[in-house]
Amino acid sequence: MATFLFDEIIFGPVKSRRLGVSLGVNLLPEDYKFCTYDCLYCECGWTLNSNKKINLHSRQEIKETLDAKLQEMLANNEAPDNITFAGNGEPTIHPAFAEIIDDTLELKDKYFPKAQISVLSNATQIHKQSVITALNKVDKNILKLDSAVDETFKIINQPKTPITVAKLVERLKVFRGNLIIQTMFIKGEYKGVAFDNTTDYEVEKWLELIQEIKPKEVMIYPIARDTPLDSLRKISEKRLNEIGAKVGELGIKINVYN
């Protein structure tokens, strides 16, 4: 199916299901998706050669581009609800990620102090103290956990580095609740292997980890856009609501994006 890449450093603002009027920041190349995962549902398409040398924009260039966009939005009386780090891959890979977050906080306070800063991340870089510190400064530290079962995690997210669910969870707990867990619920078949993270067993194991991580919020959603793999199936609204209700029973804030 048709996937797409963001062709600029700053994109939008767009109306987001989860984040309202969202001004996007893409820290990755415009012509190339770069990620430590290769999720079967990624709207940017497949992660290609991870050994390719990538050219990233400098911290200064990103700051100047964001400054110019926020000035323009202020002049047009167009306030963003969120300045959102997403784009063509994993934003925390950028070596100046922590400094870029500091610049963004400064610019937000200058132009739109009521706006929030959100980061959508796959959590693979949270072994770095600079990334943890930066994520603790943003309003919405949204980290991915798609399955509690290693086999399913490896199929859905296709990690490019040797990481396990247990290791991920250990790292997620470092935030002491200052995080939002995002989970894509999905089923399908990949290279002849069927997978489904919505079975009773999968959901039970995932809920155990949610209890352990104690996030301040959980966001769950089904596929909503084109994906690189045609055999994925959208799960029903009913099943997603059932899973959401189970999170609510734990006393954790839940947002279901059907």
Place of tokens 């947002």: 255
Residues 120, 91: contact at Cβ < 8 Å? yes
* 220 lies in the site for ligand SF4, by CB under 6 A: no
Shortest separation between residue 89's beta carbon and ligand SF4, angstroms: 5
Tell me the per-residue interface mask from 90 to 119 with ligand SF4, x by CB under 6 A, - otherwise: x-----------------------------
* CB 39 to ligand SF4: min, Å: 3
Is the Cα torsion angle 57, 58, 62, 64 positive or negative in sign?
A: negative
Looking up tokens 């470092």 gives: 174
Beta bridge partners of 86: 26
Residue 43 CB, nearest distance to ligand SF4 (Å)? 7
Residue linked to tokens 């770095």 = 128
Q: How far is the CB of 91 from ligand SF4 (least distance, A)?
A: 9
Q: Is 240 helix (H, G, I), strand (E, B) or coil?
A: helix
Q: Which SS3 state, helix, strand or coil, does residue 1 take?
A: coil
Nearer to ligand SF4, 44 or 168 (CB): 44
Q: Which residues of 110-123 are buried (b: 16+ CB within 10 A; e: fewer)?
A: ebbeebbbbbbbbb
Q: For residues 82 and 157, which CB has a smaller minimum distance to ligand SF4 in the complex? A: 157
Give 173's DSSP letter: G
Cβ distance to ligand SF4 smaller for residue 44 or 165:
44
Q: Out of 122, 125, 147, 198, which residue is the one contacting ligand SF4 (CB under 6 A)?
A: 122
Strands of 10-16's sheet in order across: 10-16, 20-26, 82-86, 116-121, 140-144, 180-184, 217-221, 253-256
For residues 36 to 75, the per-residue mask of contacts with ligand SF4, x marking binding by CB under 6 A and - elsewhere, is -xxx--x-x--x----------------------------
| Nearest distance in Å: CB 184, ligand SF4 | 8
188 makes contact with ligand SF4 (CB under 6 A): no
Residue from 13, 24, 89, 188 touching ligand SF4 (CB under 6 A): that is 89
Q: Which residues bind ligand SF4 (CB under 6 A)?
A: 35, 37-39, 42, 44, 47, 89-90, 122
